[in-house]
Every structure is written in structure tokens, then in C-alpha cells.
Structure 1
Amino acid sequence: MNNNTTCIQPSMISSMALPIIYILLCIVGVFGNTLSQWIFLTKIGKKTSTHIYLSHLVTANLLVCSAMPFMSIYFLKGFQWEYQSAQCRVVNFLGTLSMHVSMFVSLLILSWIAISRYATLMQKDSSQETTSCYEKIFYGHLLKKFRQPNFARKLCIYIWGVVLGIIIPVTVYYSVIEATEGEESLCYNRQMELGAIISQIAGLIGTTFIGFSFLVVLTSYYSFVSHLRKIRTCTSIMEKDLTYSSVKRHLLVIQILLIVCFLPYSIFKPIFYVLHQRDNCQQLNYLIETKNILTCLASARSSTDPIIFLLLDKTFKKTLYNLFTKSNSAHMQSYG
């Protein structure tokens, strides 16, 4: 057993808490997202661009949930498996691939939802006299596309294609080339947790995408607030308060999601790549533990999304309410 293997020692958090958390998140996520997808595909007749974005977001969430059992097994058994064993390779490849593909897809879709919601607001005000010529052109023509269902479908397909085209080669390269270069003896080791140069570069690029997504949502939200403040000083918008409140709530919810789930992960990842180069086993273990906890936090968003859908889409909320109402009525009649 080499020094790298003895240096990396999983704590109770990694070997016990994380496997349990991932399994619980998987159960909740599979149930909630399967129900959500069933509603989006079969119970909502006229689908808007938001429904299309949310449907693809659910698909990404289910992909995250499919990776959670692999992550759970890795943290539970990784310190017992041999590094070159088949189970170590399978768990590492499938868990890493599913987790990162779905994470980046969901981030980009959340950004498009924010743009679509903002475009909805701006379209309603593009005819106002207070709206500048620049706003009429930019929001009335360019961002208008994000609200079109056909454009939403094509955009989501492009997102999947680009993300898969980038992450699959990197993951295959890591599994076939980088993973065979180390001299580790156990599956849970420094090489597995840190990755080699190509993997670290890909990780930094992914972190940049997270920052970009956060910036898009943040810009949409504060542009909306600025626009709302401007028109309030020029005209009465009492009849539109419900629309404005709805759009503002949508953007705020997405912003909170990114802040709570993804921002800590994106801030810590570059710090992790810099500090892990020091030859300090205790510090390295702390860094790896923190990385794994923040990764779990980022993936937890996929399991809680069905709750967020209730806030983002009134049609989804109404459909779900009607389903439970009919189910309860049928249940009461069977005992009547």
C-alpha cells in the first residue's frame, strides 16, 4: 500500500453519512421527478416553452438520481475495492458521467428558464412608451425566441449534444488513460478524488459554466428589478402586479437554487485544485471531504426540483392538485 493510499482516509461522513444521504436523495428524486415527467408529458396539453425547459430539466434530474446509487456504493465500498477492479471502474465511470452531464445540462436549462421568464415580462412591456428602442429590439425580437416552444426544443437538444460531446470524451479519457497511470491500490484514493491534468482542466471549465449560469440568472433578476422600478415611476401597473410578482418569484427561486446548491461548489472547486498540491495529508483529507459534501449538495437540487416546480409553474401546480383531489375522491367513494 503506497503513501498516496494511506494518506487518503475516509471519515465517517464519507463512509457512512454520504451513502445514506445519496440513497435517500435517490428515492425522493426518482419518485418526484418521475411524477413530474408524467405530468409534463401526459397531463399538460398545450406546452409552453417553460414546460419544455422543465421537462428536459426533469430528464437531467433523473440522470443525476441514476448516478446516486453508484456514488453511494463508491463511498461505502471504495476503500475496500482494488483500484483496477471492474466494480471500481464501472462505479467511477457511470457515476462521474451521469452526475456531471446532468449537472451542466440542468444549469444551462435553469439559465434559459430565467431568460424565458424575463423575456415574458419584457414582451408585455415592449409596446410601452417608457420602453427604449434598444429594449424593443433586444427583448422584442432576440429574447422572444426563448419563449417559442420550437426554439426551446431545439435549444435543449443542442444543450444535450454539446454537453455529452464534451464530457463523454473527457470521462472516457480519464477512465482509460488517466486512471491506469497511477500506482494506487485501493479505489478510494488520491488519483480518483483529484483526477489528473486533463480532468482538472475540464473541472475548471465546468466551474466556469456554473459561474456563467449564475451570472445569467443574476443579471436577469436585477435587470427585471431595475425595469420594474423604472416603469413604476412613469405609470401605474396595478393591473399587472400579479404578472410582475410571478416573474420576480420565478427568477428569485432560480437564483436561490444556484446560490445555495451550486455557488459553494463553484467557489470551492478552484480553491481545491490549488490547495491539494500541498503535501499535507490532514489538509488533503479535509479538502476532499469538503469537495464531496459540496458535490452532494449540488446534486441534492435534483431531488428537490419537483417542489420548486410548484412555485415555477401554475399549470403544473393545478394539474397536481387535480390529480390528488380526484384520487382522494375516488378513495372516499370506495369506502362510501
Structure 2
Amino acid sequence: MDFTPFTFPPDNSSFSSSVFCLCPTAATRIFLPSVYTLLFLTALPGNALSLWVFLRCISTISPTHVYLSHLSISNLLLSLTAPFLAAYYAWGSVWTLSGALCQLVLHVITPVLHINIYISLVILTWVALCRFAVLIQHTHASRPSTCTTLLPHTFFTCLLRASFASRVCAAVWVVAVGGIVPVTVYYSVNEATAADGAAEEGGCVEVCYSPAVEIGGSLSAAFNVPLFLMFFIFYLLVLLFYMTLLRHIRRSRHSTNITTSQSLLGRALRNIVIIQVVLSVCLLPYHIFKPIFITVAHYQLQPTSPPNILNHCHPLSTLIELKNCLLLLATLRGSTDPVMYFLLDKTFHHQTLVLLGCNRNNLRGKATLGSDTGSAGQRTGQVVDGNVATATGDLSHESVL
């Protein structure tokens, strides 16, 4: 499903979209609905539990917890769209384009889906920047990081405040919703008449799962360009932050002989690699393939079949199914994020086990260890004489995202 519904192109493209039908295979009719159903069953309770832990069970909130709580809200909204997406892929070739269910998927579900993808990207970028600031300030390698001299001290101070993180998240929501909703409103007001007129002429444009919806038109193609640019800029920023952290951690590892510090730094390295792999596996393939798909669909597709072959499969049917599978891969992050919180954040791990009543006796003995998670300003006093072991020990009990 494209980001915005179809803007009818002239001449040959209009003919191709209205005459040729999409021929969904088992990948669309069975696999996608099944996985979206699984996404709903796992992401809804997982993110609801995560949000409850962040908001009700953690007494001292750090900037990282603020970011992750907003990410949980976004994933919770995403999980609510999964049943509608499952129904769309299962029965979209039967629904009419003007039907209530199709319009709901196009104008409500699809925007929420893409809002989640880009809110997650921006929030993870800020989480990476926050972790970057804490680590380079509170651990010491053979020499200080260059970033501590290039960036102003007030910038690092703001990053370590939960109130600043809340303002950043609010701005991200406003920008994401404000950039996506007007496009769908424009379609509803100005292009619905054109869609209805084309549907009266017959062909496959009158069904919901059609080339008109899946390929999109000039408006959706143009609007995707800044989104792709934003993704790759933020993705490279995250990669830069993490590579800088890896370099700093390696230098810190070589500058200390404390066994405990070596172990904690190794754990930080592992966690950084895990998150970078998740971003690369879930989001990167879709954003690499989508520009290629748009180029093929809008600039290289030339209809060659005669107009009386109404049931002939659309030439891009296979590519459309591949695009939808990659979009599913991007949305599956909504189910994996709670697992990431559990594995990477010691406080979240501890509070979740307490909430679920698991190993309560053992957790009491570790309560003081898990309670060390807090704002970076509170932990700064624990860093004495540049002791790498103390600093990295505090970081190990917070999210190292």
C-alpha cells in the first residue's frame, strides 16, 4: 500500500492502472494477513506492558525512558492498525474503492502506519544522541572525545534532562502528524472525484487492492522523496553516533585494566550492535527498495497489452507484493521493541519481572542495583577521578540504546 492514494496520471499510466488487475498470490492473501494478526497479538500486550512500566513502575525517569515511553505509545497505535491491514490484504481485492473499510484503511490506517515508522526513526536518533552524550562525558579513554570540545556544554546538559526529552518528543509528534495528515486531506477533498469518475469506466481501479492504490501517483511519489532523504540522514547519524561510541569504548577498554569495566564495556558494545542490526534489518530494506519501485512504476512502465484484456495481471504485481512484504518487515519492529527494552535496560528488566511476579525474592536482592537508573545529572556525582569502572557501571544499569 502506498503512502498516499492514487493521483491519476495522464495517458498511458492511467490506462495501465485502470485496465490491469493486481493478481494477489498466497503471499498477499495468506502470509501478510497472518503476520499482521501475529503482530497485533504480540505488539499490543507488549507495548501496553512497556508503557505501564515506564509510566507507573519507574520512579526516577531518565531522558532515555521518556523517549522509549513515546516509542511505546507509537508502537501501541501501530498495533491497533494491524487487524485492519490484515483485512485489507485478505479482502482488499473484493472491497470497493469507495467502501467505508477501504476509505478507513487509506485515510486513517495507512497514515498511522507511516507516522509510526518515522516517529520511531527520529526518536531512536535522539536516543542514540542521548546515549552518546552520556558515555563520552562520563567515561574516559586515553584522551577525551573530540565531540566534547566541538559541541557546547549546554547542549549536553539539555540532552540529559527529562523535560527536554519531553519537548523533543512533542515536537516530533507535531511535525510527523502535521506533515502526513494534510496530504491525505488533500487527496480526500481534491482527488476523490477523479477516482470515482475513473471507477465508473470499469476495470480494476474500482476495487480497493488495485494499482491505483498500491502504485500511487505523482503527489505520493514527490512526497516520498523528502521522507527517503530524512530516513537516510537519520540512519547515517545513528550509525555515526554508534560508530563513535564503539571507538570511544574501545579506547576506554585499552586505557583500563579493571576486569569489571572490561565486562561492562563489552556488554555496551553488544547492545549497540543489537540495536544497529535491528534498524538495518527492519527499516533499511524498505527504504532502499521503495525508491526503486517508484522509479520503475512511474518512469519505466509502458503498457503493451491491448485494452480488451481486462483480467490480465498488472506487470508490477510481483514488485507490489515485495514492497508490501518489506513494509511488513518495517512494522514488525513494533513487536520487537519491547523485547529490546527488556534485554537492554536494566531498570525496565527489573520492574517488568517484579510486575509479572517472576523471581521476586532474587529481585529484592538486586533492587539497589537496578535503582541506580536515573537522570545523568544524578549519576554524575558517582564518577570520581575519571574512574571508568564506576561510570560504565552506571551506564550498564540504564538503557545503552
TM over 0.5: yes
**Residues 209-262 of structure 1: CA distance to partner in whole angstroms, max 9, x if unpaired?**
221221121101111122233445555565533553344334322211111000
Per-residue CA deviation, residues 181-235 of structure 1 (Å, 9 max, x unaligned), is 2322111111111222121222222222221221121101111122233445555
Q: Percent identity?
A: 35
Equivalent of residue 25 in structure 1, options 28, 39, 53: 39
RMSD value, Cα: 2.4
Which deviates more, 313-322 or 196-205? 196-205
Deviates more, 1:84-93 or 1:52-61: 84-93
Is the contact made by 2:119 and 2:173 (CA closer than 8 Å) also made in structure 1? yes
Contact kept, 8 Å, 1:217 with 1:254, in 2: the verdict is no
Indicate the residue corresponding to 1:291 in structure 2: 323
Instruction: Name the structure 2 match of 1:122.
Output: 136
What secondary structure is seen at the aligned counterpart in 2 of 1:9? coil
What per-residue deviation string (whole Å, max 9, x for no partner) do you get for residues 289-329 of structure 1? 01100001100100111101012211000111222336989
Query: Unaligned 5+ residue runs, structure 1?
Result: 330-336
Amino acid at match of 1:241: Q
Report the residue type matching 1:142 in the other structure.
F
Give runs of aligned pairs for residues 58-97 of structure 1, distance below 5 A: 58-97=72-111
Retained in 2: the 8 A contact 1:309–1:316? yes
Q: Does 2:183 match 1:170? A: yes
1:214-225 superposed matches below 5 A: 214-225=235-246
- Give the conservation status (yes or no) of the 8 Å contact 2:37–2:82: yes
Could you say which residue in structure 2 is the equivalent of 1:154?
167
Shift in Å, 1:119: 1.1
- In structure 2, runs of 5+ residues without a counterpart are 1-14, 199-204, 304-312, 362-401
Contact preservation (8 Å) 1:178, 1:196: no
TM, length-normalised to structure 1: 0.89
Alignment of 1:201-280 (within 5 A): 201-233=222-254, 236=257, 238=259, 240-277=261-298, 278-279=301-302
CA distance in 2: counterparts of 1:3 and 1:94, whole angstroms: 27
Query: CA, structure 1 residues 132+264, in 2 after alignment: closer, same or farther (shift >3 Å)?
Result: closer
Q: How many residues align?
A: 327
Residue 143 of structure 1: how far off its partner (Å): 3.5
Alpha-carbon distance in structure 2 between the residues aligned to 1:47 and 1:130: 31
Cα distance in structure 2, aligned partners of 1:198 and 1:222: 37
Look up the equivalent residue of 1:320 and give its one-letter code: T
Which whole-Å CA distance do the structure 1 matches of 2:164 and 2:359 have between them?
A: 36
Give secondary structure in 2 for the equivalent of 1:131: coil
| 8 Å CA contact retained: 2:121, 2:234 | yes
Stretch moving more, 35-44 or 242-251: 242-251
Between the aligned partners of 2:112 and 2:120, the Cα distance in structure 1 is 12
The code of the aligned residue for 1:35 comes to: L
- Residues 179 and 262 (structure 1), Cα distance of their counterparts in 2 relative to 1, 3 Å cut: farther
State the Cα distance separating 1:10 from its structure 2 match.
1.4
Structure 1 residues 193 and 132, CA, compared in 2 at 3 Å: closer, same or farther?
closer
Could you say which structure has the greater relative contact order, defined with CA pairs below 8 angstroms and 6 or more residues apart?
2
SS at match of 2:175: helix
The one-letter amino acid of 1:265's match is: Y
Summarize the Cα distance change of 1:223–1:133 in structure 2 as closer, same or farther, 3 Å threshold. closer
Higher-Rg member (1/2): 2
Structure ranking higher in helix proportion: 1
Would the aligned equivalents of 1:117 and 1:251 in 2 still touch at CA under 8 Å? no
